[in-house]
Amino acid sequence: MQNDFLILGGGIAGLSAAAQLAPLGRLTVLEGEDHLAHHASSRSAALYEPRYGNPAVVALSLASGDFYHGSDLLSPRGFMVVDGPEHETRFRQALKNFDLVELSMTEARDLFPILNPETIAFASYAEHAWDIDTDALVQRYAREARAAGAEIRTKAKATRITRIEGGWEVESAGETYTAKLLINAAGAWVDEVAQMAGIPPLGFKALRRSMARIPAPGNHDVSRWPMVIGGAEDWYCKPDAGAMIVSPAEEDPVDPHDAWADDMVLAEGLARYEEAVTEPVTRLLANWAGLRTFAPDRAPVIGFDSRDPAFFWLAGQGGYGFQSAPAAAELVADLIAGRDPVPERAILSALDPARFN
């Protein structure tokens, strides 16, 4: 049967869009892996810090606030930026960018007791950062989409995409799907999917980011500690279910693949974290990596392809795909339904794929 909408990609982008679009027409989601959210969407730091990112990302993340604060998906976390004595200018810029309040060292160590006063001279804090229950969010969107009649297929990688009269024919795992509109939510693979469909790629880059999970430093109860980020954004740490995750915050360009952490990058990042704290890293509980995918200007790409209006981009969410997803998915549905979208015009043009023409 002909679909109105065929979404390629069962990560947070594809599933949130599916939940919004399923009430508008017949919809199928095709996900190549065995289960949903296998790639970037299961590897994030799960933070909602709406002032983090460029203006288009911040607009979408702030616009997602009503959804998040009206749900049971957030829990308080807090956000701290710290820096060394030689970086006062950079530190003051971060204060402004993230809307933070400067703390004395004593105040900072009350919130994050392992902060090293010998290497860190500046600290600042904001309450406006929360943990997102990302698993629950993914499941919620999948449930909502199915309840509205959507079909969600896993182990269903699209391997051939053909433009036909009035839409598309897509081959996947031995089956053929047809649809009027193809929605490209394939994460790191969005340019690959576009090329399969005969649409020129937009130049996305997949940047690997690694993560280590370590035991609670010094056996502290870390549950109320904030996320702490180094002023150069070259490490961050965050409590995670009684343990801590520490990231080197690297942005190494790679070809799209099932990512894993680079040992050397991880070791160097852990060393930068250790310099800022008073407790050494004694062992790793686990490590992983994910791909953060960016358009050339690092703003998301949301909208109809300028050359083929039967092809819709939902791409380039970078490191902000969860915090921006609720508003991004609403925008997708507004644009496709021809409704007046909520964000301001300036934001819409910052997201429009046509900006790369």
Ligand X SMILES: Cc1cc2nc3c(=O)[nH]c(=O)nc-3n(C[C@H](O)[C@H](O)[C@H](O)COP(=O)(O)OP(=O)(O)OC[C@H]3O[C@@H](n4cnc5c(N)ncnc54)[C@H](O)[C@@H]3O)c2cc1C
Q: What are phi and psi of 247, to 5 degrees?
A: -120, 140
Q: Does 326 sit near ligand X (CB under 6 A)?
A: no
Comparing CB distances to ligand X, the nearer of 100 and 188 is 188
The two structure tokens encoding residue 172:
């996947």
Rounded to an integer, what distance in angstroms lies between the CA atom of residue 21 and that of residue 27?
8
Q: Does 30 sit near ligand X (CB under 6 A)?
A: yes
Burial class of residue 145, CB neighbours in 10 A (0-12, 13-18, 19+): buried
The span of 6-14, 88-96, 271-279, 339-347 binding ligand X (CB under 6 A) equals 6-14
Q: Does 47 sit near ligand X (CB under 6 A)?
A: yes
The span of 30-38, 71-79, 269-277, 329-337 binding ligand X (CB under 6 A) equals 30-38
Q: Does 57 sit near ligand X (CB under 6 A)?
A: no
The span of 40-48, 83-91, 99-107, 345-353 binding ligand X (CB under 6 A) equals 40-48
Q: Does 28 sit near ligand X (CB under 6 A)?
A: no
Torsion, CA 135, CA 139, CA 144, CA 146, rounded to 10 = 150
Among 189, 235, 312, 313, binds ligand X (CB under 6 A): 189
The answer to whether 284 and 217 have CB atoms below 8 angstroms apart is: no
Site string for ligand X, 140-179 (x = CB under 6 A): -----------------xx---------------------
Q: Please report, for residues 104, 116, 272, 309, the alpha-carbon distance to residue 119 in angstroms, rounded to integers and kept in the order given.
A: 14, 6, 11, 54
Please, what sign has the CA dihedral across residues 81, 62, 56, 198? positive
Among 204, 231, 317, 333, binds ligand X (CB under 6 A): 317
**SS3 call for 285:** coil
Residues that bind ligand X (CB under 6 A): 8-14, 30-33, 37-41, 43-47, 157-158, 185-189, 193, 209, 211, 290, 292, 317-323
